[in-house]
Amino acid sequence: MKKQKDFIYKCSSCDHKEPKWLGRCPECGQWNTLVETAVTNVKGKSKHGETHSMPKTLPLAAVDPMEGNRLSSGIGELDRVLGGGIMKCSSILVGGEPGIGKSTLLLQAAAAAVTKGRILYISGEESAGQLRLRADRLDLNKDKSVMERIEIFCSGNLSEIETVLNNVKPVLILVDSAQTLYSEDAGSVAGTVNQMKFCSFELINWAKEHDAALILTAHVTKEGIISGPKTLEHMVDTVLYFEQNDKTAGLNGTTDCRFLRAAKNRFGSIDEIGIFSMTEKGLTPIEDTGRMFLIRREGDLPAGVATAAVLEGSRTILVEIQALTIPAKGTISRVFSDKIDSARVSRISAALEKHLGLRLSDQDLYINAAGGIRITEVGVELALACALYSARSGLALPADLAIAGELSLTGEIRPVRRLSGRIKTAANLGFNSFLSPSADQESNIIASELSGKIKTAKDIKTAIKLIYG
Ligand code: TYD
Ligand code: MG
């Protein structure tokens, strides 16, 4: 027997029929007039009269690829981290410590999102009055249409929220926060992990079924106990975490920046980061990030400082890597490094000790990256090695030198990806020389055009000789 579709969506004003729900009837242009209508099909009826719904598979080729199904959040940095915007039918979790800016990001996205449909902001954290105050602070009240299209609902009660969703039929749902959601169907105690999981799951499904997108926030406590949001990670399509720098003074420009990183993304890479600063007018994207993690100095660098040209997703940033070595206080030496993985620091220092005869194993090592940015890219290793060498020897590196390279345990320096891009950024920021394991033709052309010099070294010993002569 041929299976027929069970439901269609019929416009209550012009009777136009659509196979799936839309916020606006394409025929008459009315909003929220499409209603779910059951299709009774005579052919599909059994002898008892009820309609059969046979489970059916679909050839992969026949599946809609969902291309072009993204909507822009209107916030470039957020779109970048998401892989080009918010995917429809998807769910996004934004985690972070209290006070980092999750609610602000949600409200700003609600105001800036590029969509004609309605936007529902559900808050179990704040009252409508508080939201209004925040909106005023963000200057959203300047645009009346923005203020009108954002519907506010302040509750964490799932059944109430579902009623509201079915009435408003939003295309973008913002929920602040997952921890405030509760439902009587998920046990008697509100605020438990079960409640949060149950309610989030229901909302994720609602969004999927109604062609909407959902953004949920979740708190991560200072101690890093993430039992809450972690349990939601597998349910959502995308997980973003907000991190904050430690407000290092002396940086160029902004001192208070927030990094938005993807920990999981079904629709894009997890390499991209969004960089914002929290200003009087909310989260402001920082576009010129090349110089942000450098410290402005007149003249020479102090010993223990090296400039690394590293990749952060699609952009290159120059970061000052700082190293300090002091005789170990205990019987075993320790590594204090939270911006670069300590295991990486230990490995690099072991390689330096072995191949340069530089004694580091009796030293406590302190490593920092200016601007408080966490660096995971492998291209930072050569700069880290140079900073450590400089710290231990007391010999400062040239101030106009930028460095990129991967250091192997054998002391060899391995090539890095997108070298020419790194050289270009460094040259644009006024660095005249560049240390790397190799230089391809493109890099040489870029360097010569920008009056820069590329120094190449195949191993750490040669590199140190090249720098210090
Ligand atoms: P918030 O979004 O409430 O953080 P979260 O939801 O993650 O707990 O924002 C927190 C901080 O940001 C708060 O300390 C006030 C500050 N802030 C600004 O500096 N400027 C602004 O325009 C706004 C709205 C907030
Ligand atoms: Mg909040």
For ligand 1, is residue 95 a contact (CB within 6 Å)?
no
Which of 104, 127, 175, 279 is the pocket-test mutation for ligand 1 (most atoms within 8 Å of CB)? 104
pLDDT of 229: 76
pLDDT of 1: 41
Nearest residue (by CA) to ligand 1, atom 13, is 99
Q: Which long-range contacts (CB under 8 A, 24 or more apart) does 267-270 make?
A: 267/70, 267/82, 267/83, 267/87, 267/90, 267/237, 267/238, 268/81, 268/82, 268/83, 268/84, 268/238, 269/83, 269/313
For ligand 1, is residue 187 a contact (CB within 6 Å)?
no
Query: Which two tokens mark 213?
Result: 């997108």
Residue 261: pLDDT over 70:
yes
Task: Report the pLDDT averaged over residues 242-247.
Answer: 73
Q: Tell how far the Cα of 240 is from the centroid of ligand 2, in angstroms.
A: 15
Q: Tell how far the Cα of 264 is from the centroid of ligand 2, in angstroms.
A: 22
Sheet containing strand 17-18, strands side by side = 17-18, 7-11, 34-38
Nearest ligand for residue 97 CA? 1
In a 13 Å sphere around the CA of 273, the CA atoms on its Cβ side amount to: 23
342-356 and 460-468 helices, crossing angle to 10°? 80
pLDDT of 297: 76
Q: Are strands 86-87 and 91-96 parallel, antiparallel or unpaired?
A: unpaired
For ligand 1, is residue 226 a contact (CB within 6 Å)?
no
Residue 119: pLDDT over 80:
yes
For ligand 1, is residue 103 a contact (CB within 6 Å)?
yes
* Calpha distance 408→236 (Å, rounded): 38
For ligand 1, is residue 284 a contact (CB within 6 Å)?
no
Q: Tell how far the Cα of 266 is from the centroid of ligand 2, in angstroms.
A: 25
Nearest ligand for residue 140 CA? 1
Task: Report the pLDDT averaged over residues 245-262.
Answer: 64
Q: Tell how far the Cα of 102 is from the centroid of ligand 2, in angstroms.
A: 6
pLDDT 10s digits, 413-437 = 999 998 888 988 888 888 889 999 8
pLDDT 10s digits, 370-408 = 888 889 999 999 999 999 999 999 999 999 999 999 999
Query: Which two tokens mark 337?
Result: 């490094």
CB 9 within 8 A of CB 32: no
In a 13 Å sphere around the CA of 144, the CA atoms on its Cβ side amount to: 0
Q: Are strands 91-96 and 213-219 parallel, antiparallel or unpaired?
A: parallel
pLDDT of 450: 64
pTM (whole model) above 0.85: no
Highest mean pLDDT among 38-52, 59-73, 341-355: 341-355
For ligand 1, is residue 130 a contact (CB within 6 Å)?
no
Task: Report the pLDDT averaged over residues 311-338.
Answer: 91
Q: Tell how far the Cα of 104 is from the centroid of ligand 1, in angstroms.
A: 6
Query: Is residue 350 within a helix (H) or strand (E), and if so which, with residue range?
Result: helix 342-356
pLDDT of 45: 47
In a 13 Å sphere around the CA of 135, the CA atoms on its Cβ side amount to: 24
Q: Tell how far the Cα of 229 is from the centroid of ligand 2, in angstroms.
A: 14
Q: Where are the alpha helices (DSSP H) in 62-185?
A: 76-82, 102-112, 128-137, 144-149, 158-168
Could you count the other beta carbons within 10 Å of the beta carbon of residue 166? 10
pLDDT of 95: 93
Q: Give backbone dihedrals phi and psi of 284, rounded to 5 degrees, phi first.
A: -115, 125
Q: Which long-range contacts (CB under 8 A, 24 or more apart) does 256-262 make?
A: 257/286, 257/292, 257/371, 257/372, 258/100, 258/101, 258/283, 259/373, 259/374, 260/77, 260/78, 260/81, 260/94, 260/105, 261/81, 262/81, 262/82, 262/83, 262/238
pLDDT of 134: 95
Residue 41: pLDDT over 70:
no
Nearest ligand for residue 101 CA? 1
Query: Is residue 336 within a helix (H) or strand (E), and if so which, with residue range?
Result: strand 335-337
pLDDT 10s digits, 283-324 = 998 867 777 788 877 788 999 999 999 998 888 899 999 999
Give the chain's mean pLDDT: 86
* Calpha distance 360→389 (Å, rounded): 9
For ligand 1, is residue 107 a contact (CB within 6 Å)?
no
Q: Tell how far the Cα of 148 is from the centroid of ligand 1, in angstroms.
A: 22
Q: Tell how far the Cα of 254 is from the centroid of ligand 1, in angstroms.
A: 16
Confidence of residue 190 (pLDDT cuts 50, 70, 90): low
pLDDT of 68: 63
| SS3 category, 288 | coil
For the four alpha carbons of 140, 144, 146 and 148, in that order, the dihedral sign comes to positive
Nearest ligand for residue 176 CA? 2
What DSSP string describes 220-250? --TT---HHHHTTTTTSSEEEEEEE----TT
Atom of ligand 1 nearest to the CA of 137: 22
pLDDT of 67: 63
Atom of ligand 1 nearest to the CA of 97: 7
